[in-house]
Structures are given as structure tokens and as C-alpha cells.
Amino acid sequence: MIEVSESPYEVVQEALRRWGNVRPTEGGWLARCPAHDDRQGSLLVLAAGDDRVELDCLGAGCDPQDVAAALRIGAQYVVVPPPAFEDGPGWIWPGYLPSVGLTLIDGEDGVNTLAVALDVAARASAGAGLPDGQHPPTAHDVVVLTAPHTTADVQRLLAASGADLGRTEVIEVLGGRGGQRGLRLPADLAQVEGLLRGRDVELVVVDVMLACPYRVPAEKALRALGDMSKHLGVAVLAVREASKRAGWLASRRAQEAAELGGVAAVHMAVNGPDRSKALVPVASESWKVMGGLQFCQAVRNRPVAWNSRFSRGTGRAIESADLCRRRPASTGAYRFLEGLLARGPVPARDVSAAAAGVGLAPRTVQRARTELGVVATKTAQGWVLSLPPQRVGR
């Protein structure tokens, strides 16, 4: 990967110059495409905002990911164009939410994943613009499965998010004989399927912890939801918030879910920079992982407001997920070291002096060094600290 010096745009320009025949055009550049034998300069590079670029090979139609790899620029700086609504498996939200299959959102502590899912469901029911700006050709019928104690909040969020209430139904689901206890999957799978078969539904929203009884692994509930989506031919959007029961580490939960069979897509809802939050795709069944999207969530029971693309790649988001759950001193030391070493190796004594200058204890700094995987190298001038190779240039 090429190391970022001042801005990703400069990195891209430097990479293009190595291939020659670079000339400016409206909003970007034209250059030779490195992914095929290009003598004409048919690669169109457009500035896409958020320090990202769009790569469009006008000559041979090369895949943007292949072009980025040939240029040796990080995937986090390249916008992957979303598929069309009619491409691939069929979509409710192209690249993020297929029309059939289980899609899971795992949330970090402090992020209301249900509000994110309800915002997407509201847009789908109203046929409104999706969070990344795409416009669905049709509206969809939505069912939200809730428990009695969450029904009022769900209805309030759907209305505030602009849902078409004529296409949206909130159903309180109880299991067991006579509906005397909470919903339990996979035991109550047949009951839920029977409930949905009598309705013209295209998207089902459910909280995994609502449907998963205590002492039953959440993986069993996820498999049941995946089976239900295939049996009924509907999209299921499941959410799982951070809790002692679900597990605090969103990155670990999301990666474990991605390894399960029957899950079409896995996303994380994480805390981003400057008090923003982001929806970051982690894995998908048969299509390329799309870029992350930032949003704001000022109050827990208020709708989300989407604003821009998330500038960090999926790998970086996974590494920094749940950072806020560390002790404040450890979090500060982690970010301090990451910023100090981002531009290259620094003498260990200078790191210690800088850390002391901002009030960080040596033991706290050492803990952050371990978490970051900082590399210590002995030179003629003394010990030098640097970031591990896989983090350089991110």
C-alpha cells in the first residue's frame, strides 16, 4: 500500500503518474488503466468526496477493485459502485440488504442498532431515498416483530422516520401455549412463519435478543431466522445491541456471525470520529462489501440522520470497534500512540517524553503499545518505535 502523506487525492495522483499519460479532466483525471494493456489513457478517476475516488475504466471495463490493487492504493480510498436493483440476488437496498436472506447488524456500546434498522425499513416502506442516496423503484411491505414493552418505542421511531404506516405493521410476538412467554427461536420458528405467511410481507425486522431465550446460543436464533427468510422468500433484517448477555465486542460478534452458514450479510454499527456513528459492512454472501456510511444519533429514541460516507475501511473499523469500552486512560493512550507513530518511526525516549507531557502513565502507554502491536527496533541511536506494517498508511 502507498503511504498517505498529506491527502488521499495526492496519493492517487502519485500512483497515476507512475503509469504516465495523466491529464486533468472535470472533477478528476484521465490516465492509463493499470489493469489492462491501455495505450489510450482510458481510466477515468473522479473525486467522490470524503477523500475517496471513483475508478471507471472506459476502455475494457476493468473492475474498480482490480484497478485499485494494481495502483496499490488502499480500498478505503475507492468508492465501490453499488449494484443495480435488478442485479444479483435482488435488493431492498443494493449492496447492503438483499431481498431474500438474513442481514445482521451488530452494534457497539452506545449505538441504537434498532433505530438504524427501523430507519432503513421506513425508507423501504415509503419508497424513499436510501441512506447512500439510491432511490428504490418500488415501496415494500414491512413487518416489525416486537415484545410488548418495546412496541410503543418502535411505532414512535417508525413514524418519526417517515414510514408509510399503511405498508408497515408492528406485531407483538409471544411464544408458547397461549402466548404466555417471550418468543424463543428456534423452538417457535413454525409459529412465527405461520404468522407471517398470512401477510404480504417483503421485509421483517427483529431484535435477535428478543427472539433468543437465555442459555440458548444466539447462533441458533440466527440460523432459525436465516431458514425463515429462505422458507418465506423475504428479507430479514436482524439487530443485536451490545449487552452483557450479547457480548460487548461488536467486532468479535460480527466476525463470528459472518462465519455462520445462512447469513447473507453482516454489518457493524460503530462509534465514529467526532461523536458520529457509522454503519460498516463486514461480510457478504456473494457480492462485494460496500463502503461504510456515517450517521448521527443524538438521542437514543430519535431517528438517525445520515450525512456522509465513512472514511475508514472495514478493517480499520473492526480494529477500532469497542475502543470506547476501554478505560478512558487506555483509550487516550491508544489514540495518542496511533497518531504519534502514524507518520513513521519515533525514538522511544521521545514517545515517553510526549506521553508524560500529556499526563499518560508509563504503564498505560505500555498497555496501549501491546494493543496496537507497536514494533520496537534497536538502532545505533537507541530504541525506535513504529506501527506494525499492516497499519502503516491506513
Q: Is residue 290 part of a domain?
A: yes
CA angle 164, 170, 176 (to 5 degrees): 165
Q: Which 8-state DSSP code applies to residue 325?
A: G
**Residue 83 maps to a domain:** no
- For residues 316 and 332, membership in a common domain is answered with no
The answer to whether residue 85 is domain-embedded is no
Provide the pLDDT for residue 5: 37
Answer for the pair 171, 141: CB distance below 8 angstroms, yes or no.
no
Nearest to 256 by CA among 271, 266, 244, 270: 266
264 and 353 assigned to the same domain: no
pLDDT tens for each residue of 64-113: 778 887 888 776 677 767 788 887 778 999 999 999 999 999 998 888 89
- The Cα–Cα gap between 224 and 351 comes to 51
- Res. 140: pLDDT tops 90: yes
Whole-number average pLDDT of the chain: 82
Q: Which of 232, 157, 222 is nearest to 193 (CA)?
A: 232
* Residue whose C-alpha cell is 460503530: 270
Query: In which band, very low, low, confident or very high, does the pLDDT at 3 lie, cut at 50, 70 and 90?
Result: very low
**DSSP bridge pairs for 52:** 49
Decide if 1 is inside a domain. Answer: no
**Does residue 3 lie within any of the structural domains?**
no
Phi, psi torsion values for 262, nearest 5 degrees: 90, 0
58 and 25 share one domain: yes
Domain that holds residue 19: 8-77
pLDDT for residue 6: 43
Does residue 218 belong to any structural domain of this protein? yes
User: 182 and 213: one domain?
Assistant: yes
Which domain CATH number covers 354? 1.10.10
C-beta separation of 146 from 154 below 8 A: yes
Residues 181 and 303 occupy one common structural domain: yes
Q: Residues 280-297: pLDDT tens digits?
A: 888 888 887 777 888 987
CA distances from 1 to 16, 83, 105, 145, 376 (A): 14, 27, 30, 45, 22
Residue 316 has a pLDDT of 65
Per-residue pLDDT tens for 351-373?
999 888 888 888 888 888 887 78
Distances (CA, A) of 289 to 75, 152, 294: 11, 34, 16
- Supply the pTM of this predicted model: 0.69
Q: Report how many domains make up the chain.
A: 3
Pair 341, 249 in one domain: no
